Amino acid sequence: MRRLIIAVLCPVLILTVLTARYAASARTAKNGVRLLLPVSVLETGEDAFSPFVRLRYHNFIPIDAMLEKKGTIIVERPDDGRAEFSSLPSKRPLRPRETPLKYVVTDNNGTDASVRFSAAFLRFAKTKGFRPESVRFAVVRADRSGNALLTGLADDNGTLLVKGIAQANRSR
Distance in angstroms (rounded) separating the CA atoms of residues 84 and 77: 6
Q: For residue range 72-108, what is the model confidence (pLDDT) as tens digits?
A: 999 998 888 899 998 888 888 988 899 999 999 887 6
Per-domain residue ranges of the chain: 1-31, 33-170
Q: What is the mean pLDDT of residues 10-36?
A: 78
**12-16, 22-26, 78-82, 86-90: segment of lowest average pLDDT:** 22-26
HEC profile of the chain: CHHHHHHHHHHHHHHHHHHHHHHHHHHHHHHCEEEEEEEEEEEEEECCCCEEEEEEECCCCCHHHCCCCEEEEEEECCCCCECEEEECCCCCCCCCCEEEEEEEEECCCCCCCEEECCCCEEEECCCCCCCHHHCCEEEEEECCCCCEEEEEEECCCCCEEEEEHHHHHHCC
For the chain, what is the mean pLDDT? 83
Distance in angstroms (rounded) separating the CA atoms of residues 141 and 149: 5
Q: For residue range 104-128, what is the model confidence (pLDDT) as tens digits?
A: 988 766 566 788 888 888 888 877 7
pLDDT at 24: 66
pLDDT at 154: 92
pLDDT at 37: 93
Task: Indicate the pLDDT class of residue 38, thresholds 50, 70 and 90.
Answer: very high
Task: Indicate the pLDDT class of residue 171, thresholds 50, 70 and 90.
Answer: very low
Residue 53 has phi, psi (to 5 degrees) of -140, 140
Q: What is the mean pLDDT of residues 145-154?
A: 90
Residue 25 has phi, psi (to 5 degrees) of -65, -40
